[in-house]
Amino acid sequence: MSASENANIKVHRRPIIAPYNDQEAILIPNPEVFRRKLHDLVNGGSHNVEVISDYDFTLSRFRIGNQKGKSTYQVVEAGALSGDKLQETHDLYSYYHPIEVDPHIPHDEKERLMHEWWDKSNEIILSVDIHRSMLYDFIMDSNLHLRHGVDRVLHHCDRNLIPFTIISAGCGNIIEVSLEEYLEHEKLEIHSNFMIGDCEGRYTHWSEPALRTLNKNLVLRDRPVKPNIILLGDMISDIKMIEHATYNDALKIGFLNEPSSYVLDAYKEAYDILILNDGNMSLIELILSLVTGEAFNIDDYPSLQALKDYLPSLVRN
């Protein structure tokens, strides 16, 4: 982001960070695997670790109060579109989203349908005048909130020069504006779909190649990563972000935002530890603190108490 663009961002009218969610619960599917991976992370130290994360409903909340949170694309659609155009994007979501989360649809068929969905949505979005100066208001007028603790996790990574890489099939412009105060962090990278503007700031086209749910694994194919990875995602397909990366081990942390809505067993198989009920980032902050040796008071977080059983074994060799 250029300095001139950054200067146009206003001070937040409302908090962007969600309040602490005391309904959070932690589930460890295989305690021995989790213990081993956590031990290896701690022994590897901060110079050997990298965080690789999805954005929509991973760094952002899935639900605020009684309302479902908006994805980055939905923030743009709600802010820029109205009438028939907005209804058309709602209809597209109603048709294609169940396909996106259905684990039984073959990969190739799902990939084709996802491309079909996003191509249609992108065309509708750019059929109206959108300028970068509008994006802040789009966010403030929506219910997009970052999870409680995202700020502390990003600052923790920045202090310790831990790379934090976001790979999102959403709208990168909205991600940038929502994370404006962290964009100067040396090790923060955002890989996403960006609207590209003309000389007057009006968005005219999308960045290429398009980044979709099922091709996020291409980002790290030719890009070196640290030996130890902390992966954050909210969909089973998010674990494929590191599919073509070269690394030693990965601790996979999944946000299962509505346990009743998904197949729990599939998430337990995919992830090493699950944060249930649209929880917070406290677990990630705890793990980073163990890796870097910084202080963290686990007693402040009731949902993390079960992890105390794992802490005595985390002694650096």
Question: What's the confidence (pLDDT) of residue 12?
Answer: 55
Indicate the CATH number for domain 3-65+145-313.
Answer: 3.40.50.1000
**Strands of the 249-256 sheet, one edge to the other:** 25-27, 273-276, 249-256, 228-233, 49-53, 164-171, 188-193
User: Tokens in use for 158?
Assistant: 């920045």
* Averaged pLDDT, groups of 10, the chain, 317 residues long: 45 85 96 95 96 98 94 96 94 92 86 90 94 95 97 97 97 97 95 94 92 92 96 95 96 92 86 97 97 93 89 56
Kindly report the CA angle at 27 between 38 and 146, in degrees rounded to 5?
A: 85
* Structural contact between residues 132 and 176, judged by C-beta atoms closer than 8 angstroms: no
Question: What's the confidence (pLDDT) of residue 314?
Answer: 59
* Phi, psi (degrees; rounded to nearest 5) at 270: -80, -35
Neighbours of 150 (CB within 10 A): 25
First and final C-alpha spacing in the chain: 42
Question: What's the confidence (pLDDT) of residue 248?
Answer: 97
Q: Which of 268, 16, 276, 239 is nearest to 148 (CA)?
A: 16
Q: Which residue type occupies 131?
A: H
How far apart CA 225 and CA 248 sit, in angstroms, is 10
Q: Which of 139, 175, 151 is nearest to 20 (CA)?
A: 151
- Tokens 């985390």, residue located: 314
User: Tokens in use for 182?
Assistant: 């962290």
Q: Which of 214, 241, 237 is nearest to 229 (CA)?
A: 241
How far apart CA 225 and CA 243 sit, in angstroms, is 12
Domain spans of the chain?
A: 3-65+145-313
Q: Which of 144, 116, 122 is nearest to 214 (CA)?
A: 116
Go through the chain and tell me how many residues it has: 317
Question: What's the confidence (pLDDT) of residue 8?
Answer: 47
User: Tokens in use for 113?
Assistant: 């349908």
